């Protein structure tokens, strides 16, 4: 994929033709307890993080009914409702929680209906701007899940629909039922397994939202990222996030944290302008 030049990446992206958001967003998974289970250790700091995100100009917050479960959505409403104009809250359904770090899949329409109704209630919304299927369920015909998503969109409960951890073939299948506006797959500077999906999304003008956007632990990559970071007086994490913004204009970032200081560090990555040479070095990792 051709990279944009260092000085030209757009700071915004428009989802679904009508939701223009800043590409540096916030992922609200980490404002829960250990194992993404139960309430956070520091409730007040979690509230401050959410409020600070909006103060900084972040207008895209990504969550899910399964974070906590329910805790993340409840905290978002507590911290930010009534929501400022232009704030897009994306949530997801399709996973069950049976304990810390346990995520069984359930994308049966009955479960999704319950999850969606719960999300609307917790977030104090009449309509979810972006509702994402958290996972394709191997035990439920994909068509059934897609028919459900089509139905709730027609009912006005959901404005736009996204998918998570899907292949190009699955995206194309979903497009037979709904307009897919975003894909959230695992992706980072040193984990590009889903490059074909990213490219397909760019062609289709769909947002691509990498989860786990920071280094996957490749030692050589870590060393090179560290060398580039020194040039910009930045942290390796900031460089990894900046590279994603430069790499493709449809990438939206949702790094998560439960600390205001860390949130501010992540946000600063959006102002780092990588040179063409450094972009090339990083892209060739």
- Provide the annotated active-site residues: 67
Q: What is the CA radius of gyration of the chain?
A: 18
User: Would you give the DSSP letter of residue 3?
Assistant: P
Residue 253's Cβ-side half-sphere holds a number of Cα atoms within 13 Å equal to 32
Residue 9's Cβ-side half-sphere holds a number of Cα atoms within 13 Å equal to 28
CA–CA separation, 186 and 165 (whole Å): 7
* Of residues 112, 79, 23, 4, the one with CA closest to residue 258: 79
Residue partners of 12: CB distance under 8 A and separation at least 6: 20, 21, 22, 23
201 with 208: CB under 8 angstroms?
Answer: yes
Q: Is 67 exposed, middle or buried (0-12, 13-18, 19+ CB in 10 A)?
A: buried
Coil/strand/helix, residue 279: helix
CA–CA separation, 7 and 275 (whole Å): 8
């Amino acid at each position: 994929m051709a990279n944009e030049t260092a000085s030209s990446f757009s700071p915004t992206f428009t989802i679904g033709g009508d939701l223009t958001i800043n590409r540096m967003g916030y992922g609200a998974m980490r404002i829960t307890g250990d194992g993404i289970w139960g309430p956070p250790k520091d409730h007040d700091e979690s509230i401050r993080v959410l409020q600070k995100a909006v103060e900084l100009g972040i207008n895209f917050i990504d969550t899910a009914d399964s974070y906590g479960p329910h805790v993340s959505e409840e905290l978002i409403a507590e911290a930010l409702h009534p929501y400022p104009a232009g704030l897009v809250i994306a949530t997801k359904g399709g996973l069950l929680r049976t304990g810390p770090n346990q995520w069984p899949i359930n994308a049966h329409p009955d479960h999704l209906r319950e999850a969606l109704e719960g999300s609307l209630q917790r977030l104090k919304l009449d309509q979810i701007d972006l509702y994402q299927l958290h996972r394709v369920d191997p035990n439920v015909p994909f068509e059934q899940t897609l028919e459900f998503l089509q139905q709730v969109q027609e009912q006005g409960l959901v404005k736009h629909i996204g998918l998570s951890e899907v292949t190009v073939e699955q995206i194309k299948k979903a497009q037979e039922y709904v307009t897919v506006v975003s894909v959230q797959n695992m992706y980072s500077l040193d984990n590009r397994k889903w490059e074909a999906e990213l490219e397909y999304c760019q062609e289709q003008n769909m947002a691509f939202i990498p989860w786990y956007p920071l280094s996957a632990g490749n030692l050589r990559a870590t060393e090179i990222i560290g060398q580039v970071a020194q040039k910009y007086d930045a942290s390796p994490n900031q460089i990894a996030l900046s590279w994603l913004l430069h790499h493709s204009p449809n990438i939206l970032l949702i790094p998560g944290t439960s600390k205001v200081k860390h949130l501010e560090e992540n946000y600063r990555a959006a102002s780092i302008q990588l040179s063409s040479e450094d972009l090339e070095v990083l892209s060739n990792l």
